A and B are shown apart, each in its own frame.
Chain A
């Protein structure tokens, strides 16, 4: 590609820090980190022009494992931090990483409103249907009959949260589901998510090998979705409401709502003009 010829070339490793992740061997999050760095390299974004924002949880550790600007905040509040950052600094590419508990339980309200607000962010949620960092409790996406937690030994008895359906209904402008077992495809979709204007939601099925070892079977269950994306929200909703959660590797929905971005250019007004209104 000629236009890229003048651009500096980057490799995925240019976006990685020297820090060794705290994750368990075999954790799906390793490949998500790889896919993110690979996507950034493909986009040839200078590392200083990218920020990764997260909350708390295993997957929220990602910022420190990258060599871009990172912000590791409190549990559940990654989206508002990223919203403030992107609105104040529209020149930056802002990614948000986190897990299902961080994003859909404690941060659930922010998730709804981030979809609604449609700021140009890319939200990558590593969904393993469990709280890993606190040693294995049911999350909002856990099946109601999962009895693996001491906190809910009889299962939660509550239907799982449907992040993509809720995201679509709330106004997310780009929706995809990928599997951590296919990092190449994941990187390709993250590239698309970053390039698509507005709020992009990428759900990654990312197994927790320690507290949900049975999820290692996901690599055999997942299948590449047979149909391409739609820009029709009603069709996307039908598809999402009827699938089993294992159709991966393709973008499901692309909307065309313009991103939210208030004017932040220097205007001609001065503080003196504001003060003049108080003068008698």
Chain B
């Protein structure tokens, strides 16, 4: 079964209340028992400027936007043309605009969508303190089948502080829009659902990331602001304080990575969040954390690079720096979240991995999932709590403590400052078992083996990848992907299955260390594969080629940001892949 959903965009200039309208609509959809996904796009202006809220509603959980939108509700046309590539419209799409603001810009009309007029300004003008964006919301509700009671509850909650008059004005405008929708051309309606039975959350990827690190046990965070990671840190600041942790604003990313190294050396699990430019600055010290064996988590909310790139938009192009950026041979952990709620799972897991292996763990998320808000089933409780193997006394009474002792697992008991009898110096210089600097080949070999061994021998369980088959089985075709591209890939798999196809989705969560045996098992019987990623050079495809045995017929579907893949783009590739083989 393909997903029954409605996709729409609310767009307008800075003062039009587009983002507010989108949030209200999302909350109301949640109230109505639907699931939803909302992304935002805005111009480069610091304040104001054009904005668009992209929403998709369904009666079941969704992880991706659709290939096109059913509706564009334009409160005005201010620079909306700039978003035209992000708002694919087709012949069945409907643009609703306000005649007071003139005709729709040509940039939006290439897909020949239907057009209709809604006199939002005029209708709102007849209501005391009525606002056009509430008229628009009413019309949307009427068009998609959202019950007005759902919006009533949300508006009451949101405008409580402003008083009953404000609530009444908003709802009067909403109802006027709702009534006007009867005269607009139809778009698909979603069925009303009985009150939701399963508990649901409304959460953004960046919030889920913050919650994941707190759940994992992080209690020290160093922060330097950077788009689009700042919300992770802004959510953490008050949240950490509530659970006995702290966030410190650092002077730069060099300081934030080194502050968390210091805190973690002191025994307090620590993390920071950044984006590509900040990660570049942190790389040298990530190597220090590898060599000195200091556990920590760095979240990279990826944006379009290189350099400053497009700071507000998404791309999956930091894979190479995350995996290969460190100088020397520097075994470390790289994991990637593949949906809004998975940001919680993956970051919590990352804390667990970092603490258990006394190594830095990089978490890759991106702007698309970080700044998207989703209505999702309540995420499961997870058992991953950071637990570090610590040393309380010398292994042999009276013997000098070996911080980097050789062990079968490669993990050495770590003495936390304050522990008597185990003082030592943790060092980024190559060292012997005691931590004493050494330039001996044998010490380098032994320590490299140990640092590598602790990562390769670790039991990652089934979490290394999400593997999902179409209902009738995997067949011999696979989609291999990671991160944000997983959402549209999941949906492509469903559409492929609905048309009678069989395929397997493999979405890698553990990027490094690589898992050749697990991948071989996952690819057993697979003859064809498409590798999907949002990177101009196909970084993920090249990495797979380097480390894994892929099916002979493997194609790479990749493009740079900021446009995400639509499910049909991936579906087309699946169909092409199998066209010659039927």
Contact = CB atoms under 8 A, between A and B. Distances in A.
Contact of A84 (B196, B201, B261, B428): B261
A109 B437 CA distance: 28
B559 interface: no
A210 to B, nearest CB: 20
Contact of A262 (B248, B417, B427): B248
By Cβ-Cβ distance, the 8 closest A-B pairs, closest first, are A84-B262, A70-B425, A269-B242, A84-B259, A80-B258, A85-B262, A88-B263, A113-B251
B262 A53 contact: yes
11 contacts: A48-B417, A48-B422, A72-B425, A73-B258, A73-B292, A87-B246, A109-B252, A113-B251, A269-B242, A269-B244, A271-B215
Interface in B239-269: 239, 241-248, 250-252, 254-268
Contacts of A266: 244
A64 B437 contact: yes
B254 A69 contact: no
B332 to A, nearest CB: 15
B378 A262 contact: no
B381 to A, nearest CB: 10
A77 B242 contact: no
Contact of B423 (A69, A79, A110, A112): A69
A4 interface: no
B288 A73 contact: yes
A257 interface: no
B26 to A, nearest CB: 11
A69 B424 CA distance: 5
B422 A71 contact: no
A8 to B, nearest CB: 11
Contact of A110 (B31, B251, B264, B426): B251
Nearest to A90: B266
A130 to B, nearest CB: 21
A270 B417 CA distance: 27
A271 B425 contact: no
B30 interface: yes
B420 interface: yes
Given A68-B423, A269-B242, 15 more contacts: A48-B417, A64-B425, A73-B258, A80-B254, A81-B261, A84-B220, A89-B268, A109-B255, A113-B250, A263-B246, A264-B244, A269-B244, A271-B211, A274-B239, A280-B202
Interface string B397-435: 000000000000000000101111111111111000001
Interface in B276-296: 284-285, 287-288, 292
B135 interface: no
The contact size tier of chain B is 35 or more
A267 interface: yes
A67 B423 contact: yes
Contacts of B256: 80
Interface string B205-229: 0010001001100011010000000
B428 A83 contact: no
Contacts of B421: 48
Interface in A106-134: 109-110, 112-113
A267 B245 CA distance: 9
Contact of A274 (B196, B243, B284, B287): B243
Nearest to A65: B425
A217 interface: no
Nearest to B242: A269
Contacts of A85: 262-263, 265-266, 417
B515 to A, nearest CB: 30
Interface residues of A, number: 52
B55 interface: no
Contacts of B268: 88-89
Contact of B417 (A69, A73, A80, A280): A69
Contacts of A279: 199-201, 378
A69 B437 CA distance: 15
B556 to A, nearest CB: 37
B214 A271 contact: yes
Interface residues of B, dominant DSSP: mixed
Interface of A: 19, 46-49, 51, 53, 63-64, 66-74, 76-77, 79-89, 91-92, 109-110, 112-113, 262-267, 269-271, 273-275, 278-280
Contacts of A69: 415, 417-418, 423-425
A263 B376 CA distance: 34
B167 interface: no
Contacts of B211: 271, 274-275, 278
Given A80-B250, A84-B261, A84-B263, A64 B436 contact: yes
Contacts of B244: 264-267, 269
Given A72-B428, A80-B258, A83-B259, A88 B285 contact: no
Contact of B207 (A63, A83, A110, A278): A278
A267 B292 CA distance: 31
Contacts of A82: 262
Contacts of A74: 258, 284-285, 287-288, 428
B134 to A, nearest CB: 22
B557 interface: no
B21 interface: no
Contacts of B243: 267, 269-271, 274
Given A71-B425, A72-B426, A274-B239, A46 B288 contact: no
Nearest to B245: A264
A89 B270 CA distance: 13
Contacts of A84: 220, 222, 248, 258-266, 270
B203 interface: yes
Contacts of B207: 278
Nearest to B262: A84
